[in-house]
A and B are shown apart, each in its own frame.
Chain A
Amino acid sequence: MTFRKRQETTRPFDRTRKTTCGNCPTGCGLKAFTAAGKLVDILGDEEHPLNKGSVCPKGMLTCLHLGNPNRLTMPRIREDVSSAFRSVEWNEAIAFTARRIRELTEADGKDSLFVYGNETDPFDYLAGGTWFARGFGTRNTPGRFFPRPFGSDGAIRKMFGIPASQMQSNTPRDWCNSRCILVYCSDPAASDPMIFGPILDARDRGATLLVIDSRKTVTSSKATFSVRVKPGSQSILLKGILHLLIRNGWVDREFISEWTEDFDRLRAETEACSPERVAKTCWIDVREIETLAFHLGKVWPVQVIAGDWSTRRHLADADLFGCAAIACVRGSIGIPGGGVNLLGVSPFLFDDGSYGGTEHEDARPMAECPGHIDIERVLAHPDSRPSCLIWRGNPYPVLAGGEAVRAGLERVPLVVHLSAYPNETFQHAHVSIPASHWMEYTGLLTVSNTRAVQCHRKVMDPPGDCRPPIEFWIDLACALDLPEAGVLKDANAREDRAGVYDEFLRKNPLTGSMSFADLDPNTQISGGVLWPCTCPSHLELESTRFVKGTVRGLNILFQRNEKFPLSDTRFPTPSGKILLGLVPKEDAFAAESGADADACPLILTTGFLVDYVEQFGYFVSDRNPALEPSVKIHPKLAKVIGVKTGDKVTVENARGSFSAPAWVCDDVDPRVIWCPEGADRCQPVMNWGNPKLLFDVPSSGRVSNPFTMVTVFRSDSSRDHARVGIARLMKELG
């Protein structure tokens, strides 16, 4: 007898429902087993082409969210943040919000209303928020807060004609055809574990797995070859690799001459990045750069993976350009196993103020909407006077900018917060709207690591007065008498709300041919539909000489002899070729690193832990806060400042300080310390200080800094004692 990995529960149940996990952008298929309307078990969907039956701890422990006693179940309002909340009915909270918005925007203008959005927020919130903001008349839609290099102004858009938020040329099922995979500044094994499966599958089939990161990660521990570089210098390493590829002739000349432009300019720009210079800047050895270039240059096809939800905010134009240029010069575009594969892509992430073409007829034209803004600059800038801010999840602990931003938030007269949990962002709100979990309503999942649009189905009823975000937006629009609010309210009143989602899908040219009914995993093939989906033939499984699709739609973009959807050429650029000449300059993090080098000689970087659920701003696991070490310190540095694992250390710079238990290990460089993000004082776990307090407000037009300069010492000893030791260590290390 052979045992089977059957995803079946052994508990009694009366109903099985397939749905899609909404915890991270990976979008795994799930099977939910219920008995009398109560959830009894969650397992993976074996028929889903990405996870094939497995789920990560975040998905498996979704049950902890559903019955969690900490959940917010009633709307709450208060006049000012110093007074206590009072629980009210849903309609009263909406009426209160509408009245305050009306009062405040009459005095300060409609542009003083900000609807903040993170690109991994649920579709309901982003689509509804954009629809509401444009109908109301404010220019500050969620799309303007998305990272600039991923938008229409970014390097990828200039190279390929599509923005980086839509750039995933090969879907994960094709990755096993690759011979070399470069994972750039991402830790998918911790941030999106299931997307690491296809990468490991490729490695097990003989592909070389290369990892470039500023610390040792779970991903890099599984790599064939990994390089730990100085934080912020990764894009220079990419240029160094390009320099070696070109110098050694490890480039695909045929592809370059036929399908790219300005290759000579790229050669000239990378001329100066010799391995010796790059090695010195990046704190690595010349041989390490040569090994990376050798692996990338000697096999074909190669692919580059970057931009998971936790690190994409720190990717600058130079990073994305370098990743794409490596795949281009190796001629690995539009073929099985190649490509520039960015994670967390979506057809709806438009940064021009629209959300996939969802427009009111009398809305302000998009041209009036200026470009990218940073939430930190909105809050901290003296000229900016936001009167209303609507946001969701837990963005507060990951805001950079220290006390200036915190003080700015306190000055905002109305903060509306949609969340499932009383986290730290909740503590700074005037109105709290309880949000449904994705298992408690039917909705769309458009941000995806697999370039698919999928849907999640309602499995059980939400507790108390929790409702999906789209209901908040529709009710608020009705209370403010916005146009079209009634139409959407009627469509929303249907059981599955398919009318609302069909409207959004139909208006977006990239998803024009799919409907909500095509996405249901209970009646259709699991895995959703890949976009661009511009004609009915894209709703079928691909079966060509190169591709045997397991997901409906186009598995490989930019294929030879095929036109890109909605375009007349293979690449949707004006010339029909890839532009390699517009080499962006590295973002000048040097200005930051040069500041007060004596007082703050160490580099602090941050990241996420495997069980952090970004969607909720909440850790799903039941960690024991008293025992949770968190600040990673190299043994050499720990010896100098006299710290053992578990000792409390204080990390500080001019902007502030926080204290947390130390974790002595050699994952980081002795000149670098690492700390997980997302912790806040109101979590039941990891409720120590917030590392983002120490980060600077992003400058205009630059990506947020992935690191900041700090000093560290034992919390029960003096900082001067540690400073002497650290200075000596820095001198030793050069």
Chain B
Amino acid sequence: MKIIHVSRNFKTQDVDVNTFDQDEPVLMVDLDRCISCGSCQYACRIEHAGGDVQAGRPRSIPVAVKHGESAKRTMHLPLSCRYCNSPCPYYSLYNFWTTCPAGFESPDQADACDSCVERLGKGFMPACATRCTMKCIYFGYPRDIAFVLNEKRLREMGDLVISALDGVR
């Protein structure tokens, strides 16, 4: 699974969805709509908690993204995790962050992101995309994502930067 972030305002690294492997699903986060409410993190935990969601545990859910066969990369879903002595300066500026600048990892972190295989098997999007409050997470094959991006590009009059998480490509 690839993860890309799209935004009109925040620029990192340009990618072209059309060059992606068309059979590898992509998770796209529209940062212009994200309000860092934390729904995606809760969704992940509820989905993988086996019905046992309880108060009193740390809030962070970093997700390890499988890349290839061996390499693992940790990705935080859009909200600041508040695990470290947070909110971090990045959070303060933009109200979200995507990877912890300090490199903290929660002891409570989920296992590698399995992109909710059970849901995918039924034809549903993963939990974070399903439950996102502002509907800013999309999941699909590159052609579906290209369709969503075209729509957004039309709205934003072409002024749009699509970026991939560093090294995922």
B-contacting residues of A (Cβ < 8 Å)? 1-8, 10-11, 40-41, 43-44, 52-57, 60-61, 63-64, 67-68, 70, 189-190, 193-194, 196-197, 200, 204-206, 218, 221-222, 610-611, 621-624, 627-629, 645-646, 663, 665-667, 684
Contacts and interface: CB of A to CB of B under 8 A. Distances in A.
Contacts of B37: 56-57, 189, 193, 610
Contacts of A4: 123-125
A206 B38 contact: no
Of B85, B94, B125, B133, most A-chain CB atoms within 10 Å:
B133
Interface stretch (B50-58, B66-74, B159-167): B50-58
Nearest to B116: A10
Contact of B92 (A8, A204, A624, A666): A666
Given A10-B122, A624-B58, A60 B39 contact: yes
A54 B86 contact: no
Contacts of B58: 622, 624
B135 A54 contact: yes
B146 interface: no
B55 A3 contact: no
Given A43-B130, A627-B86, A196 B140 contact: no
A253 B10 CA distance: 42
A53 B129 CA distance: 11
B87 A665 contact: yes
B123 A621 contact: no
B87 A55 contact: no
A684 B130 CA distance: 30
Interface in B131-146: 131-135, 139-141, 144
A40 B51 contact: yes
A60 B39 CA distance: 8
18 contacts: A2-B140, A2-B144, A3-B144, A41-B51, A43-B130, A43-B131, A54-B132, A54-B133, A54-B134, A56-B37, A60-B131, A193-B133, A197-B135, A200-B33, A611-B38, A621-B38, A623-B82, A665-B89
Interface string B26-67: 000000110111110011001100010111111100000000
A61 B42 CA distance: 8
A679 to B, nearest CB: 16
Interface of B: 25, 32-33, 35-39, 42-43, 46-47, 51, 53-59, 82-87, 89, 92-95, 116, 118-120, 122-125, 129-135, 139-141, 144, 152, 155
Majority DSSP secondary structure for residues of A touching B = loop
A245 to B, nearest CB: 27
B38 A646 contact: no
A60 B85 contact: no
B42 to A, nearest CB: 5
A60 B43 contact: yes
A622 B85 contact: no
Contacts of A623: 59, 82
Given A10-B118, A623-B59, A629 B133 contact: no
Contact of B125 (A3, A41, A627): A3
- Those 5 A-B pairs whose CB atoms lie nearest each other, nearest first: A665-B92, A189-B35, A3-B125, A6-B124, A622-B55
A228 B64 CA distance: 39
Contacts of B116: 10
B130 A6 contact: yes
A189 B32 CA distance: 13
Given A3-B125, A218-B36, 13 more contacts: A3-B140, A5-B130, A6-B125, A10-B118, A56-B39, A57-B39, A70-B55, A190-B35, A197-B133, A204-B152, A622-B57, A627-B85, A684-B56
A607 to B, nearest CB: 14
A204 B160 CA distance: 13
Contacts of A55: 39, 131, 133
A635 to B, nearest CB: 9
A623 B41 CA distance: 13
A629 B25 CA distance: 38
B92 A57 contact: no
A221 B94 contact: yes
Given A63-B53, A205-B155, A610-B37, A5 B82 contact: no
Nearest to B152: A204
Nearest to A70: B55
Contacts of B25: 3
A41 B46 contact: yes
A175 to B, nearest CB: 15
Contacts of B89: 665
Nearest to B33: A200
A518 to B, nearest CB: 29
Contact of B53 (A64, A193, A645): A64
Nearest to A54: B133
B85 A194 contact: no
B124 A11 contact: no
Nearest to B157: A206
Contacts of A43: 130-131
A11 B144 CA distance: 27
A580 to B, nearest CB: 36
B155 to A, nearest CB: 5
A623 B82 CA distance: 8
B89 to A, nearest CB: 7
Contacts of A218: 35-36, 95
Nearest to A64: B55
Contacts of B130: 5-7, 43, 53
A196 B53 contact: no
A222 B32 contact: yes
A122 to B, nearest CB: 22
Nearest to B127: A10
A189 B120 CA distance: 30
A604 B59 CA distance: 28
A45 to B, nearest CB: 13
A4 B119 CA distance: 10
Given A6-B130, A206-B155, A629-B87, A622 B42 contact: no
A339 B58 CA distance: 43
Contact of B38 (A57, A194, A629, A665): A57
A221 B87 contact: no
A667 B25 CA distance: 37
A628 B53 contact: no
A68 B55 CA distance: 8
A171 B149 CA distance: 29
A666 B83 CA distance: 21
A5 B118 contact: no
Of B36, B47, B85, most A-chain CB atoms within 10 Å:
B85
Contacts of A54: 39, 131-135
Nearest to A6: B124
Contacts of B82: 623-624, 627-628
